[in-house]
Structure 1
């Protein structure tokens, strides 16, 4: 039961929950708001519609406003003349899947096919490819987050429930006018055939929009395409990075705290946490380490998790990656003797065969006595790879640049240490076999040990 619960927790968190929080709340890896004072972005989903979209285009043309249309591929396929007109009149065309279906309910390969099919339809009609994508209902999964579609994800900063006709033109006008300001990305709908929408809802939207455009024109404001807004926004992006990163780290640490509570992780040194652990039965395939130690299904192991708050704190005060590496090595060294003594002293750990964890490393932990093994291919390995790359890009001092320094070190690996090795090296008052890199730590250790601690709450359920 616990194994099933953990699997569900991992899958929902990796695939939907974490990407949803980071995109919706913090706008991480998506575009949802611009800046400025006189320009906003009108965006329209679910079309094209043969009745309402041409009327919308007439309205935009009359007020000399530009917009972005995220088209459903099956609709575009049926009404190519409307798509052709959208393109001819200078509006931006984006992708909204081939059918209007949530990405949470589709496999990554299915989402990718939906996007490609819609892009091919747009290309056949207009002669241009689209690189902008809005998933239905704005719902992203982990693979969308990792640029599974190859497109830039566009969300919104304001929506108005205009898919319901009962809202009425008057109330809809008030809602849109309340959000009429620079940098706003407004979500509206030019088609009412989507599940949950009213077929005649776009009629009320058109009435309200005409009133809003009249006010905008009087105020000297104009609607621009999303790509134009993004180009303007990129100039001020650097100023926002540090705040965004702090917010992302806060969300991750909150999630990690919940993970630790849910699975009752213990901390080796609560006053200065670095290593967390729990005892469980190994459930993966038999593993034979280099020293001949064998780990079989059902054997008791201590599952290790590394403290990302500690990593972030050390990284924040480190002046260089070399300094960060030295401090991380010393933090791990400090905890291993305490953990070894706990294994010796506590009766419930008598049957423990070894330590076990997962990390984005290739060689660094070997100096601590760990064996580094390939993670068996499968869904967990793929999800872990994407998840850890995302985490690394947020927490690592070099950010996303760290992801581009070589694919070999960016593969998740299994870390295992026989309990005999742990006790022999670290128990009681024995001097640890690993020498602290006090003066000139090897460059390899510098790069790899930093990544060792990135894994956080991501141990495998192999």
Structure 2
């Protein structure tokens, strides 16, 4: 390994550590501003009220302003640990499998925990909607607000550059495809899809 590579690796590790420290602070703020924050495997489930326009799920259910939703947030610390030990391709596969397992756990909690009875849908925002969520049951919606879309694009691309092993190259080569999308899955679809998987 050359001196340049050593310096680059040290710089990247430093940026990752700084980012995770920021996320720790953000998690504390999120807990204060949300109804609840719960960990399920590789996902954090943040329950809060939906704001903005009504959104249609693909099964015909609508999520309206004021309805409770569960926001899904990947645990970036766990993803970072995987990327450092498993490599980019294996990390993507393992993350997708762990995400499916988290959805099974969340489905069970939605059905059995009283605190989640009012949650009408799962939502999330991601750049990786073309790969990581394939076959999981979400439908996609563009971010309606132009200002929010621009901010999320900058934020999520930077996150990808910092945490993903080949994030810098990926942003350069596929920037036109790395557009943030909102993911949505109704409570009914979640229970129907993942309770069947748990029982099978």
Q: TM exceeds 0.5?
A: yes
Equivalent position SS for 2:177: helix
CA contact (8 A) 1:363 1:372 kept: no
Matched, 1:326 2:93: yes
CA RMSD, 1 decimal: 1.9
For residues 130-169 of structure 1, give each alpha carbon's deviation from its aligned partner in whole angstroms, at most 9, with x where no partner exists: xxxxxxxxxxxxxxxxxxxxxxxxxxxxxxxxxxxxxxxx
Q: Which of 55, 61, 65 pairs up with 1:287?
A: 55
**What displacement does 1:267 show?**
3.2
Return 5+ residue gaps in structure 1 as ranges: 1-234, 432-462
For residues 291-325 of structure 1, give each alpha carbon's deviation from its aligned partner in whole angstroms, at most 9, with x where no partner exists: 32211111110111111111111111114x33122
Matched, 1:254 2:25: no
**What displacement does 1:251 show?**
1.0
Q: Which of 323, 335, 342 pairs up with 2:109?
A: 342
**What displacement does 1:276 show?**
0.4
Q: Which of 242, 263, 268 pairs up with 2:39?
A: 268
Matched, 1:378 2:149: no
**Superposition pairs for residues 291-330 of structure 1, below 5 Å?**
291-319=59-87, 321-330=88-97
Equivalent position SS for 1:333: helix
Q: Which has the higher strand share?
A: 2
CA contact (8 A) 1:300 1:351 kept: yes
In the alignment of these two chains, the number of paired residues is: 193
For residues 425-455 of structure 1, give each alpha carbon's deviation from its aligned partner in whole angstroms, at most 9, with x where no partner exists: 2238334xxxxxxxxxxxxxxxxxxxxxxxx
Equivalent position SS for 1:427: helix
Give the whole-Å Cα distance in 1 for the aligned partners of 2:119 and 2:65: 13
Give the whole-Å Cα distance in 2 for the aligned partners of 1:343 and 1:416: 16
Equivalent position SS for 1:422: helix
Equivalent position SS for 1:303: strand
Give the whole-Å Cα distance in 2 for the aligned partners of 1:345 and 1:400: 42
Give the whole-Å Cα distance in 2 for the aligned partners of 1:372 and 1:253: 28
**What displacement does 1:349 show?**
1.6
**What displacement does 1:405 show?**
2.3
CA contact (8 A) 1:275 1:306 kept: yes
Matched, 1:430 2:199: yes
Give the whole-Å Cα distance in 2 for the aligned partners of 1:237 and 1:373: 42
Return 5+ residue gaps in structure 2 as ranges: none
CA contact (8 A) 1:361 1:409 kept: no
Give the whole-Å Cα distance in 1 for the aligned partners of 2:39 and 2:3: 44
Counterpart for residue 183 of structure 2 = 415
**Superposition pairs for residues 47-446 of structure 1, below 5 Å?**
237-264=4-31, 266-269=37-40, 273-319=41-87, 321-364=88-131, 365-427=133-195, 429-431=198-200
**What displacement does 1:245 show?**
0.8
Task: Work out which structure has the larger RCO, using CA pairs closer than 8 Å and 6 or more positions apart in sequence.
Answer: 2
Give the whole-Å Cα distance in 2 for the aligned partners of 1:413 and 1:355: 14
Give the whole-Å Cα distance in 2 for the aligned partners of 1:277 and 1:362: 18
Q: Which has the larger radius of gyration?
A: 1
**What displacement does 1:289 show?**
2.7
**What displacement does 1:331 show?**
1.0
TM-score for both structures, normalised by structure 1: 0.40
Counterpart for residue 210 of structure 1 = none
**What displacement does 1:237 show?**
4.0
TM-score for both structures, normalised by structure 2: 0.88
